[in-house]
Amino acid sequence: MWPYLLTLGERAIPAYPILYGLGIALAGAVVLLLGRREGMNTKKLNHLILLLALAVVGGGRTFYVLQHLGEAGGRTGAMLDLSRGGQVFYGGLLLGLVVLVIYSRFARLPVAKTLDLVVVGAPLGLTVGRWGCFCRGCCFGSPSGLPWAVAFPKHIDVRGQIIGSPAYEAHLNEGWISAAADSSVPVHPAQIYASFTSFAVFLVMLWLWKRRWAEGRLIVIYLGVYALSRFLLEFTRQNEMAFWGLTIPQVVSLGVLAALVPVLVVLRRSRAGTPAHATRRRGKR
């Protein structure tokens, strides 16, 4: 685990924004590749990918800053600094969905089909993005005695100054370690759990897209799978508590799952009202 990909004297290239950006680029590549196979306008898809990248970063950062206003201290530079991590996936997801629907209607792209492409690529982007979290040390796990638990060290910046990793600082504030400690207590590698889970979701979404099993409705499946997996993964993370002994992301995940219930009911009824021959015709595409 290292917060910099490259250091040149007193200059350094932080790992987090580079890997986060690489994840967005890979997700965009998937959208373009699948969109080309569908005969969609690649120029319009390129514009959409750029807008989605801005929306994901902007929405994710906004939600993070709103949750940690005290840490930024009102400093604009701190609010915009992505090198130290600080993205909330649900924030980026929400703004990204709004941007996608608006642009697709404006550019006359089929909304449902475009959503299908994006939700296939999104988990692959998150797979790589979580490695950026691991390099930075943010989104760290809860204490663990498992053999694969990891301890995050003090970070030393390019100027030789000690800047504690998020896990190290949190455990120091909790009194779990002393200032003389070289690292945090061992914790779950929650970022790696999330990365592997996202890759598995990517494979499932790609398989569903190829089979045309839920054409035009993959967004519902993805939101449900992500919310459920995030709710469970939060039990291995050290995160801010909301209420009922649940973290903020867990409460949001439950809200997403609850909101999907009426959507699934409507989809089920609409599918029940679809003539059988039409269903068979879609399956043969």
- The pLDDT value recorded for residue 137 is 87
Tell me, yes or no, whether 120 lies in a domain. yes
Please enumerate in sequence order all residues whose Cβ is within 8 A of that of 195, keeping only pairs 6 or more positions apart, or say none. Answer: 126, 127, 128, 130, 131, 134
Res 244: pLDDT = 81
48-52, 72-76, 89-93, 263-267: the lowest-pLDDT one? 72-76
pLDDT band at 1 (very low <50, low <70, confident <90, very high): low
Task: For residue 91, report the phi and psi dihedrals to the nearest 5 degrees.
Answer: -65, -45
pLDDT averaged over the chain?
Answer: 85
If one compares 85 and 98, the residue with the highest pLDDT of the two is 98
Residue-number span of the structural domain to which 129 is assigned: 4-150+186-213
In this model, does residue 156 exceed pLDDT 80? no
Residue at 121: amino acid letter: G
Which helix or strand (DSSP H or E) is residue 119 part of? Answer: helix 111-136
- Whether 90 maps to a domain, the answer reads yes
**For residue 276, what pLDDT is reported?**
45
Average the pLDDT over 218-239 and give the result.
94
pLDDT tens, position by position, 235-256: 999 887 877 889 988 999 999 9
Res 236: pLDDT = 95
Within-domain flag for 65: yes
Does some domain include residue 170?
A: no
Query: What's the full length of the chain, in residues?
Result: 285
Alpha helical stretches, state H, 68-110: 69-72, 76-80, 89-107
Mean pLDDT across 146-174: 81
* Gap between the Cα atoms of 61 and 127, Å rounded: 18
Gap between the Cα atoms of 43 and 47, Å rounded: 6
Question: What separation, in Å, do the N-terminal and C-terminal C-alpha atoms of the chain show?
Answer: 46
Contact 119, 214 (CB under 8 A): no
Residue 67 CA to residue 139 CA, distance in Å, equals 14
Which pTM does this prediction carry? 0.85
Is 20 within 8 Å of 87 (Cβ atoms)? Answer: yes
Predicted pLDDT of residue 61: 79
**Quick one: pLDDT at residue 80?**
58
Number of domains in the chain: 1
- State mean pLDDT over 89-95: 86
Q: Is pLDDT larger for residue 177 or for residue 268?
A: 177
CA distance 86 to 65: 8
- Domain assignment of residue 281, yes or no: no
Task: Name the more confident of 14 and 128.
Answer: 128
Confirm whether 240 is domain-assigned: no
Q: How many CB atoms lie within 10 A of CB 78?
A: 14
The answer to whether residue 48 is domain-embedded is yes
35-63 tens-digit pLDDT: 999 999 999 999 999 999 999 988 887 87
Can you read off the two tokens belonging to residue 22?
């690489």
The average pLDDT across 136-142 equals 90
**Backbone phi, then psi, for 243, in 5-degree steps?**
-160, 170
pLDDT at 277 over 70: no
Query: Tokens 């003389």 belong to which residue?
Result: 180
- Whether 262 is in a domain gets the answer no
Lowest mean pLDDT among 71-75, 198-202, 207-211, 266-270: 71-75
pLDDT over 50 (residue 227)? yes
Mean pLDDT check: name the lowest of 112-121, 123-132, 207-216.
207-216
- pLDDT tens digit string along 164-215? 788 998 999 899 999 888 899 999 999 999 999 999 999 999 999 999 888 8
Q: Which helix (H) or strand (E) holds 11?
A: strand 11-14
